[in-house]
Amino acid sequence: MNSKDREGLTGDQKGREPLLDPALLERLSRLSIVARSRIRGTIQGKRRSRSLGSSLEFADYRPYVPGDDIRRIDWNVYGRSGRAFVRQYWDEQELHVHMYIDISRSMSFDGSLSLAGGRSTRPLPLAAGAGNPPPDDNKLRYALRLAAAVGYVALAGEDRVSVKLFTRSITEELPPLRGRASTLRLIDFLTAAAADGEQQHAADHDGSDDLSSAIVSAAGLPGRAGQAWLFTDGLYEHGIERTISALAGAGQEVVFVHILSPGELRPQLQGELKLIDSEQQTGKDVAIGAGVLQAYKRAVDDHCAAIRTYCRQRGAAYLLVDSGIPIEQAALRLLQESGLLR
Amino acid sequence: MIFQSLASLWFALSLPLIALLYMLKRTYIDTEISSHLLWNRALKEQEANRPWQKLRSSLLLLLQLLAAALLVVALMNPGIWQSPGAKGHVVIVLDRSASMTGLAQPAAGGGPVAGAGTKFELAQSAALQWIEEHAGEGVTLIATGQDPQLIALREHNQELLLEAVKQLTPTFEEADGAAAVSMADALLREVGGQGGPSGKMIVITDGSWPDAAAAAGLVIQSPVEIVKVNGVQSGNFAVAAFGLRADPAQPGYEQAVITLRNDSSKPARMNIGIYADGGAAPVAEASANVDAGEWASVAVGGLPEAEVYKAQLEETADSYTADNALFRFSSASKEQTALLVTKGNLFLDKALQLAGVRTTAADPAVFEPQQDTKEAVDWVVIDGIGDDELASPQWRELLASKPVWRMLSPSSPLSEGDHAVQPGHSGVELQEHEITRFLSLADTHISKLVQTDAVNWGEPIVKYGGYPAVYAGKEGGKPKLLFTFDPHDSDLPLRPEFPILAAQAAQWMSGGGVQQLGEVQAGAAIDIDYASGTASASWEPVEHAPGLERYVNASSSPVVESSEAGLASSQIAPAIPGLYRFVEQDEDDNIIASRYAAVSLDQRELLQQSDKPLVLASGAAEAQKGSASSMRESKESQVAESLVRWIALLLLAVMTLEWGVFSRGRTV
């Protein structure tokens, strides 16, 4: 990576906070995305394909039939046995990494921001690791940073990366990039999305309660097999199973990155509150007590477990990420430990 | 716990109002969250009963409701039922009238019921219990009787009080309950002073008062509580009346007429035994069927002559036994024989015979009294015979030993100092006397009277024209009667009043002899004519009324009152009903006379048994309802105040807690 690249990756061209810091990039560049199956691509890449091709990796012998490239006949074998055998090699192709990032309002909901503007006099304590800088409670920003990390790893590994942002439909799309040199474009795209997310209130980022409405469509589903990363908070009433099924059916290895903020995992609300849905702006009067909080936590656990179970059934990877933990930890340890990066 | 102002309960409506306000409260703090998705799931269960959900989680509301409830309770002005009379002076009026000796419970069998508890014992134990439970600011104990008896006045010593109550015995004399209640009220008022009575009165009674009407008329200013001692209300059988007369069929025998009363609720066959002179076996028996609540009379003839007869009910399961026997004295012993010393007085002779007196006419000119005369004659009438004609020793002895009724005649030789007068007018002055009862002597004319100074034994009971016309009195315990005019000098014998006068005079004369004392009421005063030479006297119980033996003890044994001047002429009859003998002794303790007295209890007590309930109108209370409610009021005002204080304290604590909850902002 040249210095220009690095500046583009880490520098803050528009006076914004960098999505990834250089130390993290350094460490990410040593990783690559793990694909669990052989890849069938179009362009030669670093990954072994499911089809035989022209790489250096030997696959098998087979008897020569007329029409075969005579350059591939193993003459040594022919010399010893008098029969012509053709050497076959695995084809090495690139991996196409599709990243779907949920930019609906619930993702860009910033607990502390809304409370400051609200009428609450009580502070809403948010879980934060002691000694850490203020965590990025904005799940969208967190998702974009994770996506940047994954995308960087993919580009660095000579894989193809494409990004789709969606709310109730695909709103923006980054055409497939390839090669480390494209990192800058990826970061630019994601940074712009983050900036967009911060102005979300003006924009039409209304989410839907159906995840599949955006992805399971002609524009949404990827045309080629590969790996599909889904960055979302999973706050959809339905459509999650259908989306995973559809992606798997489209030849994708699905990675469901479930991002929840500490305020959602462990709400520390008290008293009589009117809970306003950030997407639908509907209110709900709740007198919150210990019993209600317990019921809520149970609901969260049940929801996560349901998604996890479905992912397992469909062979998809599931990763629950607490946006309260530092991004470095999530990018390195979490992804690594779950076997998605290596 | 009682509430004086139940109307304040309406304020309790504020409680649901507070809850309603809480439910309608719109102070939910807007809090934006990312999505309702998970909350919807969490709240699904709680949404169902949403309004109550709000209430549950609000400790603040609960505390406010509690405070409001306390306020409502305080408005209702609660009070605690405290033990009555824990404050103030308490006067216990214990009814000990004869009816209290009735059984508290029906007798188990038909046999003697001496072992069963009486109402009086119940009343005693009620009083004991009360005293034991309430050691107030002094207890005054009043027992009813002929006069109310103050047993203890503002006594603080519980032991003494208990002992005093235990010592009480029922009385069979006329019991004046109204007087006792009135006295108790006066005592309470005296203590209460200006501020009104500070204590209360507790009347322990069976409610059967002969003077209930008088008691109801009393205006009692103190709170009264009537503790009713319930006994057997009905089921009493009684010998209501017992009379004797000479048996018309068999001369020399007596005939008894007995009236029986059945107070029970069902008809009964009542058996009577008549006993003579204390014999163990009845001389005659009779029985009668008496309907419930009815009276019946039965006549029994052929009774042998005896001094005392007793009519007693046999074998009855009776709630009240003291009225099961009555004593009567032989009617024969009352027939008198008078020696009429006269020259001839047909009017007087006939009048005395009408009065039931056998007369023996004697002319002193031809008759000298003999020894048998003295025995045969009960008293002597001297009709206008001068002293000189009766100067013989026989006459003197006879006249000294017998009661004498003398009529002076101006025409006969007068004694020294006597002189005849002619009344100036015909005005009659009558003294209240046994002889002058029912008489007016109006329009009677007496032409001449004898004025005598020699009368020092009696009082003039009739004066005519300013001069004494009739003297009556006693000399040596014997009646003596003196008419200072000759009936021949008057139109009196022609008047319809004359036989009455003669009969009453004869009765008066008969009383001088050694007669039975007759029937007297227990505890009542009786006039006793002592035999001459009587130095001491005593009551001897012969037989107590059935069932009353248990009340006989040292304190109730009758005493004969005497003073320095000798025996008092008025004596108190024994307290316990029954048959008594009044024995008179001379200075050498020789018995010179012995008379029977049938002591009975106050008959009114028994008739009142099933009468209307006793009502004591307390001044403070409205109308008849009474005593109990007024007592309640006086209690409440004292205790309620303290309860309100407690509630205020509790309220303060609740408010403090609420402030704590409010400042911490905790939900449940």
Strand extents, DSSP E, A179-249: 226-232
pLDDT digits (tens, 9 = 90+) for B84-137: 444 567 888 888 887 777 777 655 444 444 445 778 888 888 888 888 776 656
pLDDT digits (tens, 9 = 90+) for B181-201: 888 888 887 765 555 556 778
Shared domain check, B177 and B147:
yes
Shared domain check, B213 and B103:
yes
Computed on alpha carbons and rounded to an integer, the radius of gyration of chain A in Å comes to 24
Residue B10 in this model has a pLDDT that exceeds 70: yes
Residue B326 lies in a domain: no
pLDDT digits (tens, 9 = 90+) for B336-353: 788 888 888 888 888 888
Confidence of residue B364 (pLDDT cuts 50, 70, 90): confident
Which pLDDT score, from 0 to 100, does residue A205 have? 59
Residue A164 in this model has a pLDDT that exceeds 90: yes
Residue A325 in this model has a pLDDT that exceeds 50: yes
Shared domain check, B496 and B359:
yes
Residue B432 lies in a domain: yes
What is the average per-residue pLDDT within A169-173?
88
Which pLDDT score, from 0 to 100, does residue A301 have? 93
**Which residue range is the domain that position A31 belongs to?**
3-38+94-337
Residue A265 in contact with partner chain B when CB distance is under 8 A: no
Which residues of chain A are within 8 Å of residue B53 when distances are taken between CB atoms?
287
Shared domain check, A282 and A194:
yes
Which pLDDT score, from 0 to 100, does residue A231 have? 93
Task: For residue B209, give the nearest of B187, B228, B235, B236 by alpha carbon.
Answer: B228
Q: Report how far apart, in Å, the C-alpha atoms of B40 and of each of A239, A283, B576 are.
A: 18, 11, 95
Shared domain check, B490 and B562:
no
Shared domain check, B505 and B371:
yes
pLDDT digits (tens, 9 = 90+) for B586-601: 777 877 777 888 888 7
Residue A25, domain CATH: 3.40.50
Shared domain check, A100 and A68:
no
Confidence of residue B574 (pLDDT cuts 50, 70, 90): confident
The alpha carbon of residue A298 is apart from the nearest alpha carbon of chain B, in Å, by: 7
pLDDT digits (tens, 9 = 90+) for A227-244: 899 999 888 888 899 999
Single-letter code of the amino acid located at B33: I
Confidence of residue A50 (pLDDT cuts 50, 70, 90): low
Angle among Cα A235, A236, A242 to the nearest 5 degrees reads 130
Residue B27 in contact with partner chain A when CB distance is under 8 A: yes
Shared domain check, A221 and A98:
yes
What is the average per-residue pLDDT within A147-175?
89
Contact B58, A287 (CB under 8 A): yes
Shared domain check, B496 and B369:
yes
Higher local confidence (pLDDT), A157 or B626: A157
Q: Report how far apart, in Å, the C-alpha atoms of B135 and of each of B128, B150, B161, B222 are.
A: 11, 19, 10, 19
Contact B206, B231 (CB under 8 A): yes
pLDDT digits (tens, 9 = 90+) for B521-567: 787 788 776 766 677 888 888 888 777 777 776 556 677 777 777 77
In A124-143, the residues whose Cβ lies within 8 Å of chain B are: 124, 139
How many distinct structural domains can be found in chain A? 2
Computed from CA positions of residues A209, A212, A218, A222, in that sequence, does the dihedral angle turn out positive or negative?
Answer: positive
pLDDT digits (tens, 9 = 90+) for B499-524: 888 888 887 887 644 456 777 878 77
| Cβ–Cβ gap B667/A120 under 8 Å | no
What is the average per-residue pLDDT within A158-183?
89
Shared domain check, B216 and B150:
yes
What is the average per-residue pLDDT within A25-44?
71
Residue B503, domain CATH: 3.40.50.880
**Which residue range is the domain that position B174 belongs to?**
90-233+609-620
Q: How many CB atoms lie under 10 A from the CB of residue A294? A: 11
Residue A11 in contact with partner chain B when CB distance is under 8 A: no
Which pLDDT score, from 0 to 100, does residue B613 have? 62
Contact A48, A57 (CB under 8 A): yes
A110, closest residue in chain B (CA to CA): B34
Residue B634 in this model has a pLDDT that exceeds 50: no
| Cβ–Cβ gap A271/B43 under 8 Å | no
Residue B81 in this model has a pLDDT that exceeds 70: no
Higher local confidence (pLDDT), B399 or A257: A257
Which pLDDT score, from 0 to 100, does residue B193 have? 53
Tell me the Ramachandran region of residue A87: left when phi exceeds 0, alpha when psi lies from -120 to 50, beta otherwise: beta
Q: How many CB atoms lie under 10 A from the CB of residue A319? A: 21
Shared domain check, A216 and A113:
yes
How many distinct structural domains can be found in chain B? 5
What is the average per-residue pLDDT within B461-488?
86
Shared domain check, B244 and B210:
no
Where does a domain end: B463, B484, B510?
B510
Q: Which residues sit opposite B581 in a β-bridge?
A: B540, B596
Shared domain check, B431 and B297:
no
Contact B632, B4 (CB under 8 A): no
Residue B33 in contact with partner chain A when CB distance is under 8 A: yes
Residue A238 in contact with partner chain B when CB distance is under 8 A: no
Q: How many CB atoms lie under 10 A from the CB of residue B216? A: 16
Shared domain check, B523 and B583:
yes
What is the average per-residue pLDDT within B591-615?
70
Residue B111, domain CATH: 3.40.50.410
Shared domain check, B123 and B165:
yes
Shared domain check, B265 and B129:
no
Which pLDDT score, from 0 to 100, does residue A230 have? 93
How far is Cα of residue B453 from the mean position of the Cα atoms in its chain? 46
DSSP code at position A283: E
Q: Which of A107, A277, A287 sits opposite B53 (nearest CB)?
A: A287
Q: What's the CA gap between B66 and B274, in Å, rounded?
A: 79
In B54-73, the residues whose Cβ lies within 8 Å of chain A are: 54, 57-58
Residue labelled with tokens 């904005």: A138
Which pLDDT score, from 0 to 100, does residue A243 have? 92
Residue A223 lies in a domain: yes
Task: For residue A285, give the nearest of B356, B312, B177, B47 by alpha carbon.
Answer: B47
Q: Residue B599 corresponds to which tokens in the numbers above?
A: 């002591």
The alpha carbon of residue A274 is apart from the nearest alpha carbon of chain B, in Å, by: 5
What is the average per-residue pLDDT within A200-209?
59
Shared domain check, A85 and A110:
no
Q: What's the CA gap between A242 and A254, in Å, rounded?
A: 12
The alpha carbon of residue B651 is apart from the nearest alpha carbon of chain A, in Å, by: 26
Residue A43 lies in a domain: no
Half-sphere exposure at residue B301, Cβ-oriented, CA atoms within 13 angstroms = 7
Residue B219 in this model has a pLDDT that exceeds 50: yes
Residue B577, domain CATH: 2.60.40
How far is Cα of residue B474 from the mean position of the Cα atoms in its chain? 33
Residue labelled with tokens 């006994």: B231
Contact B445, B417 (CB under 8 A): no
Contact A143, A257 (CB under 8 A): yes
Half-sphere exposure at residue B348, Cβ-oriented, CA atoms within 13 angstroms = 26
What is the average per-residue pLDDT within B278-307?
82
Confidence of residue A206 (pLDDT cuts 50, 70, 90): low
